Structure 1
Amino acid sequence: MTLIRLGPEALRASRFALSPLAETLSRLIVLRLEIDGGRPGADAAALARWLDGDPFAAGLLRLVSATKYLPDFVAIPPASMSTRLADELAVMRGFTDARARATVAESVRFAWKTDHTGWVETDGVAGRVADVFARGWERFVEPDWARRRAVMERDIRHRAGVLALSGWRHAIDGVGKVRWAGPDAIRFSAQGHEDRIVGAEGLVLVPHTGTVGQWTCEDGSRIALVYPARGALDQPRIVPGGVGRLIGAGRARILAQLRAPATPSQLAVLLGVSLGTVSGHLAALREAGVVVGRRSGRTVYYERTPLGDDLAAMTQRRM
């Protein structure tokens, strides 16, 4: 069992951050596994065509999607909620060939697919890896970044609320497969890796929009835990006719998205409609008693009431 140990000082300094690099890694792994599954969607098919003509990218993604120990150069802890991909890739490009090859060798030790690793012998390997992630971001993440960010910010808002009411123990519990294992430790993995000791800089919690996958990012004393965000990018499908037709597709879609609290601006991004449209629907839903707005500072978050939960269940089904 692998533990992340946090003393009182570390807990006080712990915080949330966003990472375009972690989101890109998550997305590329999901698409790579979709290719392996034999029924790739449009994005996975595009990735397959790319990998067919790029042995370096193919070998890299084959490894990171089939190991329990990610190479250090793809697991870089982000600094804040405004972390830029360019800054993360600059850190990645700073890895020497010797350091990059050493961390790949460690990753291969914990991989269930260990072939096709000749790519790591390329000169300037970390720079080539950065180029792969820059291309992956541009093709598969950046066009949808606003919606992805909205999902991750909703998760952080939820956990920040739990933190304010109940402390880090409850805010962290349920992050991926993480569970508390004592007064000063959380269980990160069932694997027998060395325990991680979080210092005075605290633990950085980083959501991603993939449905599975959690990992740590470490750089000296800085440690981040990347985990799947609550909620999903997939749009719930509204059942044609019935209650959904009665209240209208727009309001039904808003109810479906409010399985987790959200601001009007986040809903507009997630649904791809104007803020005015969302505000009008929310006003009607609020008057009907199916949603309620709660203020947090200058921001108002909307959530379903119990009546809203019942109404949403009658109007939707998962894709």
Structure 2
Amino acid sequence: MTQIRLGPEALRASRFALSPLAETFSRLVALRREQDGGRPGAQARALAGWLGDDPFAAGLVRLISATKYLPDFVAIPPTSMTTRIEDELAEMRALQPDAAARATIAESRRYAWKTNDLEWADVDGVTTRAAAVFARIWEWFVEPDWPRRRAVMERDIRHRAGVLATRGWRDALSGMGKIRWAAPDAIFFSPQAHADLNVGEQGLVLVPHTGTVGRWMCEAPPRLALVYPARGALEEVRVAAGGVARLIGEGRARVLGALADASTPSQLAALLGVSLGTVSGHLAALRDAGVVVGRRSGRAVYYERTPLGDDLAATL
């Protein structure tokens, strides 16, 4: 099995970050699954049409969506909660000369579960071309929905950071699929027998994405990041028609349903696709009824359900 080993300094320095690049890759994988499933939606069909006209993009996408080892220039560790796609793509373009890029592509093919030729990689400016591919996927399939995606990931980070501070690593890693805490100083990452990863004093960066499955490592030593599926669905919050939803109103019912995790009004607005004013009005009514409560954290106010709110939400 493969473990991520963290000494005391690494544990203290570990933190969370956001990565638009990782989210773009996650969305790409989801669209490819739609294509393989035989019932692609409009975005998956648009992706297929574009790839049919660009051999380099088609080859790169075919490889990275069907391998257990991502090329180095794709798996770039982010640095903070404010990481920008422009900065990640600039790092991708500057990361490797063509010979090194082709070598990491060949290594990626060794771990692919689908047969891939590499003729598409025999071009000048491999990482520049790859950055252009990710820029297009970001622009078409991620950026229009980025506020909602970011809200899901920020809620996950706040939840896990709180659990980490109060209950430790074992509980903070709960719900990350096969990833789990391996006491006393390691994270179980994979059942495959690869070399363990040793995290240095810069710590491990934990990066959520909104896909339902998928975890991978981003390595640019001494920087290491673990990308994992965020808690909470990206799909629209739905409530049952009639009953309590009819009594309190569908809008307030959807807000109450979305508060399974503590959220700011801005996050709720992004998640539910409504205006901030609409969310604030619903929260005020729910707060007056005693089913939600607001708690300040820094400059933000996070709303969460009270026990009465949990009982009411269970009926929706």
Determine if the TM-score, normalized by the shorter chain, exceeds 0.5.
yes
For residues 280-314 of structure 1, the C-alpha deviation after alignment (integer angstroms, 9 at most, x for no partner) is 21121122232222332332211223332333233
TM-score under structure 1 length normalisation? 0.94
Aligned to 1:138: 139
Alignment of 1:261-300 (within 5 A): 261-300=262-301
Q: Does 1:31 align with 2:31?
A: yes
Q: Answer whether contact 1:11 1:168 (CA < 8 A) is retained.
A: no
The answer for unaligned runs of 5 or more in structure 2 is none
Q: Give deviations 1:52-94, integer Å, cap 9, x for gaps.
A: 2222212111111111111111100001111111111111112
1:238 aligned counterpart, secondary structure: coil
Alignment-derived partner of residue 150 in structure 1:
151
- The letter for the 1-side match of 2:163 is V
Q: Distance in 2 between matches of 1:30 and 1:148?
A: 14
For 2:198 and 2:174, the matched residues in 1 are separated by 18
The answer (yes or no) to whether the contact 2:237–2:272 under 8 Å persists in 1 is: no
TM-score by length of 2: 0.95
| Cα distance in 1 for residues equivalent to 2:163 and 2:241 | 36
Asked if the contact 2:170/2:180 (under 8 Å) is kept, the reply is no
What residue number does 2:72 align with? Answer: 72
Is the deviation greater in 267-276 or in 26-35? 267-276
Residue 44 of structure 1 aligns with which residue? 44
1:245, 1:271 → 2: CA distance?
18
* 1:123-134 pair list within 5 angstroms: 123-134=124-135
Number of equivalent positions:
315
Further displaced range: 303-312 or 116-125: 303-312
- CA distance in 2 between counterparts of 1:126 and 1:295 reads 44
Which residue of structure 2 lines up, in the alignment, with residue 212 of structure 1? 213
Letter aligned with residue 232 of structure 1: A
Q: What amino acid maps onto 2:192 in structure 1? A: Q
Retained in 1: the 8 A contact 2:268–2:279?
yes
Counterpart-to-counterpart distance in 2, 1:201 and 1:260? 30
AA aligned to 2:137 is G
More moved, 56-65 vs 196-205: 56-65
Paired AA for residue 202 in structure 1:
G
Using the aligned pairs only, state the percent identity: 74
Instruction: Provide the rounded CA distance (Å) in 2 between the counterparts of 1:155 and 1:180.
Output: 18
- For 2:197 and 2:47, locate their aligned partners in 1 and report how far apart those are by CA, in whole Å: 34
Q: Do 2:27 and 2:211's aligned partners in 1 also have CA atoms closer than 8 Å?
A: yes
How big is the alpha-carbon RMSD for the aligned residues of Structure 1 and Structure 2? 1.4
Rounded to whole Å, the distance in 2 between the matches of 1:37 and 1:310 is 38
Write the distance in 2 (CA, Å) between the matches of 1:173 and 1:191.
20
CA distance in 2, matches of 1:144, 1:96: 33
For structure 1, the residue ranges without an aligned partner over 5 or more in a row are none
